[in-house]
Every structure is written in structure tokens, then in C-alpha cells.
A and B are shown apart, each in its own frame.
Chain A
Amino acid sequence: MQKNLLLKTGIIVAILLIFVYGMLGPKLFSGGGFQAALLDRIHLGLDLKGGSHLILQVMVNDAVGAQSDHAAEILKDELQKAKVNYADIAKVDSQPEKVVVKGVPLDASSTIRGIVNDRLPEYDVAAGADNSWVLTMKPQQLSDLKDRTLEQSIEAIRTRVDSLGVSEPLIQKNGLGDNQILVQLPGVDDPGRVKEIIQSTARLELREALDHGQSYPTEQAALQAHNGILPANSVVLPAKPRRGEQEGGFIIVSRVPVVGGTDIRSADPGNKSDTNEPIVNFYLTAAAGKKFGTFTAAHSKDSADPSNLAIVLDNKVITAPSINSQINDSGIIEGGFTEESAKDLAMLLRSGALPASLHYLTERTVGPSLGADSIRAGVKAAIAGMAAVLIFMLVYYRGAGVNADLALILNLVILLGFMGFFGAVLTLPGIAGVILTVGMGVDSNVLIFERIREELRSGKAAAAAVDQGFDRAWTTILDTHVTTIVSALILFFVGTGPVSGFGLTLIFGLLANLFTAVFVSRVIFDAVLSRKGRGEALSI
């Protein structure tokens, strides 16, 4: 009996030490104070630390549309090579996975099938009405493309966020909806800027600016300058407002870029040599450099056909300068940058364009001051609640109350230790979970103590009453814990963010409670009983 008790006490002390280590971690020994050690182990959620919780929708159809545009271009080339006439080839705007070919002669059907099979194996082809053909992306290819787009977007966001030096960001697929990304940025310094950087598609294109880069006040005005009909293969794009201006105007540019987003090899921020104005240098791949050289030579100031160059970022014209001389594989962008925005743009160009545009679906920002207030309030509530329970148990159960209080404190240490080991994040509802654990944890003790009192009242000796009390209360304790753990598990799996954290805290707390209220309390009772003589009353 005595030896057994010693062994059990040993187990409890060992577990206590393990979880104290889990709670406070290695910093406990390096001496940085209790609070510093605790905060090093228990990570605060963004509702306590301040930060942003964002859900983004990846417009995967952008990537599908780009693929179909590309397919349409290939088809045009091939049909021209095969000398087959066609009226029009275009992607269907409402169904970007489809390309429709119109006005093809009847006898060209085998040619079209051949081209699609050879050059566009990711599409199925079928005959449509009025001599048309419909190319549809194969379902497998379509879903692969969408998945890839989502993965690439997540990677691009991660690169960007990492390069901004945000600590402990969470970037993952959002389980709730299709093609959504969840981004959590705890403790981020300037959420506004980070949000813009994440969303920026960063697709840089170099196009020809028509009318020598003339900026029109409205889209209408641009059309009127050409008597209502735009020149062939051109579009009107909005221009980015210069610093200090509200509206940027509109510029007519070529429909097809000379150099596209994937042709950028690298970029870095710099300063213009004469005015020291912040600029961004960019460098093109070899192939794109050759193409760009040919274009700039043909349209430079002294050439036969001088024209301007439009630098287009995310479908907005940043500048439209004239071309001084031939440029090959590098260039500069100037357009009213600040040091910071030049640095950001260079980083974005380096990290690569997003394969599809992003929309924010949810944005929750907790300012740093609110987080600080919430911790204060949460800790105050936790201490008040805990103190009330501890004092009550002492008054109501006297000797056994000490037992319950010890179990309760150990319960708390194990809970925090668990969280330290698992790197769980403590959120505000999580603190509430801790407080609730205290309230519910004491339930097991009350159940057992009330049972022991009943047994004592029926005339049993102290040792037998304790034995019976624990034995009978155990079934009930097991049932109550299982049901609560079930609902906590559902919270953990079905919930997101803080709710999920709350569920996890509750589960850890309940598991710890099974150990402390049943095992630890029992050992303490046994220890007390072993010192008492027979017939001595139990303080309960």
C-alpha cells in the first residue's frame, strides 16, 4: 500500500514536471522571468496579438480563360497554315473552358480534329450549329488547372508574405468553399499594406501606346478621337493617377502585349540618376529581350514609325513614355513611386505574377490596442473565476477542498503544458475555454465528494467511503466527459479560427481533468488516509 502510494506520487510529480516544462519551455532555465517564458511557449491568436484574418477567393476562371485564349491563338495559326478559312475563333466569356470556331467549311472537319488532337490534346472537340466547332477543356484537365492555379496562388502569396517579414503567417486552402485561401497574419505591423501586396496580381506587360501615349479624360473621349472606332487590335485602358491627382485618364494601347508577365526575369528598386526619384528596374528573359529589342528599334523617336511604350501593371497603364532608342533586355519604370512602393513593386515582379486575380471575401482586422485590452480583460476574468472557485471549495469541503484545489491547479498546468507542446494558439474564446474548464473541472471533484459524503452518512468507514465514492462517481464522470469531448471535437473540426482554438482548449482541459480529478485526487485521499488512524474522521 505504502509503496504503491509512493509510486503513484512519483508518477504525478513526473507528469507535473513534464507539463511545467511544456508550459514554460527551455526559457525557464535561461531565466527570463515567468511571463516571458510563458509567452514564448503559448502562442497568442490574432485576436489577442492583433493582426488580420483574411479569406480570399481565387478567380480560377482567369487562368482557364488565359489557357483558352492561348488555345484560340494556336488554332488560328494552325488553320492559317492549313489554309482553312474561318470567320471567328474566340473563347466563350461565360464559359471560359470553351472555345468556339465559327464559319468553317464543311470539308475541313478532319483538319480541325487533327489539329486539336495534335496541338491541343487538353481539349475535346465537337461540331456545333451552323458550321461551328466547340472546343471544351477535358474535365480532368480543367480541375487540374484549377487546382494548380490555387496551389500557385498560395505559393505566390507565401513568397510575398515571407519577403515582408511577417512572423508566423498561416496560409492555406480554406476548407469552407471552393478555391479559397485563408491567410492569417498575427501581429502584422501595417495590415493595410500587406493586404494590398497580397492582392496585387503583379502582371507587368509592355504594350504599344497609340496616339503617342495621349491620355484622354474619359473612355468616351478616347473613342471620339478616332471617330467612334478604335484602331484595329487596340483597347482603352485606365491609367494610374499620378501622385496628387484623383483621376488618371485613359490611354489607347495595343491589344496584345509585346512582352508579357512571364517574360520578366528579375526586378529591383533604384533611384533615377538625375532626379533621385525612386524607380523600378526590370530585366527580361533572353527571348523576350530580343522581341522587345525589335519592337523598340521599330518605334524609337528617330525611326520611321515613332510610337510610345505603355507599361501596364494589372491592366492599369503606369506610364506611357516615348522610346528614346532601342532597348533590349532591361528597362525602368518611373511613375511617382515612393521608396516603399518601388521596393514593393520590385518584390512583386521578382516573386512572379499571380496566375489569377484574387478577391477578398472576409477581412477581420484586430488592432494591436484591442488585443492588449482583451488579454487584460481575459486574464482578469480568469483569475477572478479561478479564485472564486478555489475559495469556495476550501470553505465548503475544508480538508478535501485543499485536495480539489490542488487537482484544479494541476489541471490548469497540464492544460497550458499541452498547449505549449502542441504549439496550440490561445485565442480569446480559448481563454474562456480555460475558465470554463475550471468550472467544469470542479464538477468531477464535486461529484466524487458528494458521493463520499453520502457513503459516510450511510455509516461507512472513511477508507471504504472514499473507495465507494470514487468507484460510483467514475461511470458518471466518464459519461459526462465523453459527451463534452464529443461536442468539443465537433467545434474543433467544423469550426474555424478562434472557435476551433476554443474546441481544442476544451478537449485538452477535459482530458487533463480526467487525470487530475480521478487519479490525482484519489492519491491525495489515500495519502491522507494512510496517515490517519482507524476511525478518525475525514475532513470533507
Chain B
Amino acid sequence: MEFFRNTNIDFLGKKWYFLSFSLIFSVAGVLSMLFWHGIPLGVDFRGGTLVYVKFVDAPNVQSIRGDLDKAGLHNATIQSYGNAADNEVVIRLDLKETSEADLSKGKNQIINALETNPVAGKQDINNSDRIGFTAVRDALLAADPLHAEPAEYDRQARKVLDFRDKDHGGVIKSLDDLKGVVPDSVLNALKQAFYTSNFGVRSADIVGPQVGGQLKKQATLAVGFSLVAMLVYLWFRFEMIYGVAAVVAVFHDTLITVGAFSLTNQEITLTVIAAILTLVGYSMNDTIVVFDRIRENVKMMRRESLAEIVNKSINQTLSRTILTSGLTFLTVLSLYLFGGEVLHGFSFALVVGILIGTYSSIAVAAPMLVAYTEWRSKSSGRGAIPLPAPGAKGKVRVKV
């Protein structure tokens, strides 16, 4: 099977379309960053408290708000999270209500506020912050309903927790649901020690202002470092202008990806930064494949202009570019579709980035190389195409 064969598309002739396409998206992103949503930073960078809560029934945002108001948390925002069927909400408090002196205060307030009908003398079995394997086993050991060896209670406790965590997403609706999972006598012992609230905390992120600032600095450094490192590598392997063109293309991708987060108002978290750095590498890959071809063709096609060579190189590698991008896109798409809510931002960055990264290696990096060369030959009168002397450096031959 073959999708592309001997294509001969005049990519460089469409450079003005490319330029306007890139400009529209970059400018839209930048405008959104400046005047609309800003750069929506996640809790990692901004600081604050996020508590992900799963309810046994469809959560009623109104009544949650009421409970939080009663506890004095008037500025909490409540959003449903993930699929509606999951009954999950995320409750967030901003940085002002997150103090480093008592970091988990906000989270504990939220949990206490939602715990609307506690039972005296019993513990909430859905409170995974406190109730784990040890607590359940100890309760069973103390009651000793089966008059059995301690190892038997280990098994029973494990069954109860697997029921809660693996099968029911962390919340048990009623202890009676455990009928059939554990023997009745064990169930009765559990009922003596525990009760069920109507919610459980799935995860919590609390970031104080200090760490948020440190992470912001770290992320900026990481992106900056990797751009510089690649510039240096390409300079060494090709020529300065190749490095610059590639880095400009990658910067363009980063800008548009961050812009997409701003336009859709999705939060940029630490894992999104990881995705962006991966894109930097990926987009660079694409660009290098085209550049390698250009370098090779320049040596063979002495008569043609650089524009023709570049066009030919892009066409020759087009099949590979589309295939690889398509396949990587497939894997990333499966992440986006099946990877779950936690990876949503991460895979969104990759989905956008791979499209843009593929586009930019054809539409940004290559035309820039040509534009620079044409400008240089006009201004200096020399038409030299910058490329490494054959065999001088960069040629690596390994026999396999």
C-alpha cells in the first residue's frame, strides 16, 4: 500500500498562506494570553487547594455549596469533573486560603463540611485519608467475628478495601453492599466500627505559594534549556541558520500550543509542561528529517535554486512525515480518548502539538531557511547556500 508517490507540491509557493495561518493562530493565542484567559496555570504553579471528591449519587452542586458556605468557605469553586456518571466534583480554594503555616487546613475544612451526618463512635469507611488496610484489619481483629487466625482478617480487610478502591472508585454507598463479599459476621463487625458517608476524596493537591513559584521557574528553565541545547546541537551538525530556523519553528509550536490552552481555558500543569517538552523534541525530529534531506540534495543538485531543492526535499520526505505523524497522532489520540481525566491536559497538548509540529517543519522551518538565504544572497551578492562542507563534519557512517 502507498499513500503518496512522487508528489510534487509547491510548498514554498504557498508560504504566504502558511505565514498568515501561523500568524492567525499565534496572534489569537497571544491575544488570549494577554487580554482574555491569560495563561491558565494549574495548581502546581499558581498554588492553592484542589480536592477531588467522588459522591455515591449524582452530586448536587447547590447543596455542596450550601455545606461549604456553612463552614465559612465562601470562595470555594465547585466544578463537576470527568464523566457525569462518575459523580465527581473538584472543589478548589485559591492561594489566599492556602497558608503554609497550616497547609491542609482548607482540605480538612472541606472534608468536615461535606461530612454532614457523622455517627458518634464510628469512623467513616470512605475516608481514605484515615481508613486503610490497617484500620479495617485492626477493627476486625478487635471484634474477632470469625474466631480465626489474624491472617484471615488480613484477607477480609483486603477484600473490603478492594471492593471500595478497585470496584467502586473509592466510595461504598452502604455497608450492606458488602453482603456476599465478606461473611455476615464480618459485615456486622464492620457495621459496629464504621459508617458510610456519601463521598470520598479521590485525590488532593495542595501547593503553597513558595513551591508554586519554584516550579514556575523550573518549568521555564526546562523549556528554555532544551531550546538552547537543540540550537547548539543543530549548529554543530548543520549550520547556524538551520539551528535558528528549527528553533523558531519549535518556538512557534510551543506558542501555539500554549495559546490553545489559553483559548480553551484549560490549565497548564506540570505534566502539560512535560508534554510541551516532548513536543519540542518531536517537532525538532520532523524538522531535522526535512533538513537532512535538504543537506543531501544540496550536494547532488548543484544547478537548482535552493527553493527548488527545498521543495523537492519536502516532497520526498512527505510520505514519511505524514505516516509518522499520523501514527504518533494515533497513539496520542488513544491517550486522549482512553487515558482518563488525569492525563487529559497532557494528551491535549500532544494532540495539538503533533499537528502543529508536523505543519511547522514544512511550513515554517523550511521557508525560513530559504528566505534567509535569499535575503543574504541579495544583501551580500553571494548566493552561497549554507551547508556543511561534505565529509567535514556531520557525516556519520556506521556499518550495521
Contact = CB atoms under 8 A, between A and B. Distances in A.
Interface of A: 47, 50, 55, 57, 176-177, 188-193, 195, 359-370, 372-374, 376-378, 380-382, 384-386, 388-389, 392-393, 395-398, 428-429, 432, 435-436, 438-440, 442-443, 446-447, 450, 453-454, 470-472, 474-476, 478-480, 482-484, 486-488, 490-491, 494-499, 502-503, 506, 518-519, 522
Given A432-B339, A480-B288, 16 more contacts: A190-B132, A362-B207, A362-B208, A367-B170, A369-B54, A393-B327, A395-B1, A429-B274, A435-B334, A436-B332, A450-B323, A475-B396, A484-B281, A484-B284, A491-B274, A498-B271
Contacts of B171: 369
B311 interface: no
A446 B54 CA distance: 45
18 contacts: A176-B211, A191-B129, A359-B103, A370-B203, A373-B169, A377-B338, A377-B343, A428-B342, A432-B335, A435-B335, A447-B289, A472-B296, A475-B394, A483-B284, A490-B225, A494-B225, A495-B274, A499-B273
Given A177-B214, A443-B285, A367 B274 contact: no
B104 A442 contact: no
B392 interface: no
Contacts of A193: 130
Given A436-B332, A450-B323, A189 B202 contact: no
Interface residues of B, number: 95
B370 interface: no
Considering the complex of A and B, which 7 residue pairs feature the smallest CB-CB distances, nearest first?
A369-B170, A189-B132, A377-B340, A439-B328, A385-B331, A484-B281, A385-B334
A483 B222 contact: no
A189 B289 CA distance: 50
A79 to B, nearest CB: 37
B109 interface: no
A479 B237 contact: yes
Interface of B: 1-2, 52, 54, 100-101, 103-104, 107, 128-135, 161, 164-166, 168-171, 200-208, 210-211, 214-215, 218, 221-222, 225-226, 229-230, 233-234, 237, 270-271, 273-275, 277-278, 280-282, 284-285, 288-289, 292-293, 296, 316-317, 319-320, 323-324, 327-335, 337-340, 342-343, 346-347, 350, 394-398, 400
B22 to A, nearest CB: 22
A212 B389 CA distance: 93
B330 A190 contact: no
- Among A361, A382, A429, A519, the most chain B Cβ lie within 10 Å of the Cβ of A361
Nearest to B52: A370
B288 A378 contact: no
A41 to B, nearest CB: 21
Contacts of B161: 368
A450 B6 CA distance: 12
Contacts of A476: 288-289, 292-293
Contacts of B330: 385, 388-389, 392, 439
- Among B168, B296, B343, the most chain A Cβ lie within 10 Å of the Cβ of B343
Contacts of A475: 292, 394-396
A487 B339 CA distance: 23
Nearest to A386: B331
A444 to B, nearest CB: 9
B207 A369 contact: no
A370 B342 contact: yes
B358 to A, nearest CB: 12
- Among A50, A472, A479, A503, the most chain B Cβ lie within 10 Å of the Cβ of A479
B285 A369 contact: no
B188 to A, nearest CB: 22
A482 B221 CA distance: 20
B147 to A, nearest CB: 22
A241 to B, nearest CB: 16
Given A377-B339, A384-B338, A385-B335, A177 B395 contact: no
A495 B201 contact: no
B211 A487 contact: no
Given A57-B100, A439-B331, A442-B324, A470 B400 contact: yes
A188 B200 CA distance: 17
A443 B1 contact: no
- Among A191, A195, A360, A499, the most chain B Cβ lie within 10 Å of the Cβ of A499
Contacts of B338: 377, 380-381, 384
B215 to A, nearest CB: 7
A378 B222 CA distance: 26
B108 to A, nearest CB: 9
Contact of A446 (B128, B130, B274, B327): B327
Given A360-B208, A389-B327, A495-B274, A368 B222 contact: no
Given A367-B201, A368-B161, A176 B215 contact: yes
- Among B201, B225, B270, B281, the most chain A Cβ lie within 10 Å of the Cβ of B281
B104 A360 contact: yes
A486 B281 contact: yes
A363 B277 contact: no
Contacts of B395: 475
A365 B233 contact: no
- Among A380, A384, A490, A491, the most chain B Cβ lie within 10 Å of the Cβ of A490
Contacts of B2: 396, 453
A484 to B, nearest CB: 4
Contacts of A382: 334
A378 B340 contact: yes
- Among B208, B332, B333, B342, the most chain A Cβ lie within 10 Å of the Cβ of B342
Contacts of B289: 447, 476, 480
Given A190-B132, A367-B200, A499 B104 contact: no
B128 A369 contact: yes
B277 A490 contact: yes
A522 B400 CA distance: 8
Contacts of B131: 190
A1 B143 CA distance: 75
Contacts of B164: 369
Contacts of A482: 233
B222 A447 contact: no
A369 B270 contact: no
B104 A195 contact: yes
Contacts of B285: 440, 443, 480, 483-484
A93 B215 CA distance: 31
A367 B1 contact: no
A176 B214 contact: yes
A176 B217 CA distance: 10
A479 B230 contact: no
B270 A519 contact: no
A361 B274 contact: no
Nearest to A485: B281
A351 to B, nearest CB: 19
Contacts of A195: 104
Contacts of A442: 324, 327-328
Contact of B334 (A55, A189, A388, A502): A388
Nearest to B4: A450
B201 to A, nearest CB: 6
Contacts of A376: 340
B355 to A, nearest CB: 14
A483 B230 contact: yes
A519 B230 contact: no
B294 to A, nearest CB: 11
B331 A435 contact: yes
A47 B342 contact: yes
Contacts of A385: 330-335
Nearest to A377: B340
B233 A495 contact: no
Contacts of B1: 395-398
Contacts of B273: 499
Given A443-B324, A499-B271, A368 B284 contact: no
Nearest to A366: B203
A55 B170 CA distance: 25
Given A364-B203, A385-B334, A494-B222, A189 B134 contact: yes
